[in-house]
Amino acid sequence: MKILLPTCDKYQFLVENIIFNFSKYWPEHFDVVVLGHSEPKFSLPNKWSFIQLAEKSSPKDWSNELISFFDNFNDEFFINFIDDTFLTKRVNHEKICEMISLIKNTDKISKIFLSGSLIGFNQFEDTSYDASVVKILPSSPYRTSIQTAIWRTSFFKECLLPNLDPWQFELQNNHDPNHVILSFKNNFPLSFCHFCQSYAYNHKTQPVNDLTKGCFDDTLLDREDLEQIICMFLRNSFLLN
């Protein structure tokens, strides 16, 4: 199982924080493949690698450059991760391994969110798989959200249409009942916060107001992590203007 982490030159400095963050909260993590445009200016530790994508000219090239990558990606499953995402507690690696086993052995399951990403929409039903795991109903929005999840590669490629930016990818609202999508309603194996918020009207990015708080639970970003992230942001903020 690989973790795929797409990024770009503008946000690549955040990956260095994720490396530090993973070493604390997910030391037994799977191999991470950073997908970007320029070689990182920092060293990648063991279990981390970099693959260069074609330079994009607009946000809509997000899907195009990933299509090119996935044309040569032969793994049946993968975990996606977002470059401005930071873990806020120890990852339950054993539970993630259970979910990997579940998706590998259940043909109809196409995706398993590893947090409570879609629970707020209340369009789900309980399952017999696990007391903490629910089935996201086909009528639910954001089934193609890029929040961290285990994906069946064939389903991701089916959703990866040309000329989509990440937001358009998430808004596809795939309602096909043949694609079973699961999410955790509690006891999330992975909790995280988001660091950056983009403003379309002025093309600027800055830290979110409540960047220390977990997105779907009450976890908090560790103070040591926060101090490092803020320092790194201040050193690289010129990239975001």
Domains of the chain with CATH codes? 2-240 (3.90.550)
Q: Global pTM?
A: 0.91
DSSP one-letter string for 61-105: HHHHHHHHHHTT---SEEEE--TTEEE-S---HHHHHHHHHHHHH
Section 226-241 average pLDDT: 74
Q: What percent of the chain has pLDDT over 90?
A: 57
- pLDDT reported for residue 167: 86
According to DSSP, the β-strands at 77-80 and 2-6 are: parallel
Q: Choose from 63-67, 175-179, 226-230 the range with maximum mean pLDDT.
A: 63-67
> Which distant-in-sequence residues (6+ apart) come within 8 Å of 33 by Cβ?
2, 3, 4, 5, 49, 50, 51
Tokens 């979910």 belong to which residue?
A: 99
Residue 59 has pLDDT above 80, yes or no: no
**How many angstroms separate the CA atoms of 173 and 169, rounded?**
9
**Average pLDDT score, the chain:** 87
Please report, for the chain, how many H helices and E strands are present, in that order. 6, 13
What distances in angstroms separate CA 77 from CA 104, 105, 150, 152, one per listed residue? 8, 12, 7, 5
Residue 30 has pLDDT above 90, yes or no: yes
- pLDDT reported for residue 154: 97
Confidence band (pLDDT; 50, 70, 90) for 238? low
Confidence band (pLDDT; 50, 70, 90) for 117? confident
Section 102-124 average pLDDT: 88
pLDDT digits (tens, 9 = 90+) for 128-145: 999 999 999 988 888 999
Section 69-90 average pLDDT: 94
Section 209-232 average pLDDT: 83
**In terms of Cα–Cα distance, which of 53, 72, 71 is closest to 62?**
53
Taken in order 170, 31, 224, 9, the sign of the CA dihedral is negative
- pLDDT reported for residue 135: 93
CA geometry: angle 110, 113, 118, nearest 5 deg: 110
Section 198-210 average pLDDT: 50
Tokens 């990818």 belong to which residue?
A: 169
**How many angstroms separate the CA atoms of 61 and 55, rounded?**
9
Bridge partners, residue 194, by sequence: 85
Residue 190 has pLDDT above 90, yes or no: yes
Confidence band (pLDDT; 50, 70, 90) for 201? very low
**How many angstroms separate the CA atoms of 194 and 72, rounded?**
30
Bridge partners, residue 124, by sequence: 136
Higher-scoring residue by pLDDT: 203, 30: 30
Q: What percent of the chain has pLDDT over 70?
A: 90
- pLDDT reported for residue 10: 83
- pLDDT reported for residue 205: 53
Residue 206 has pLDDT above 60, yes or no: no
Structure tokens at 96: 């993630």
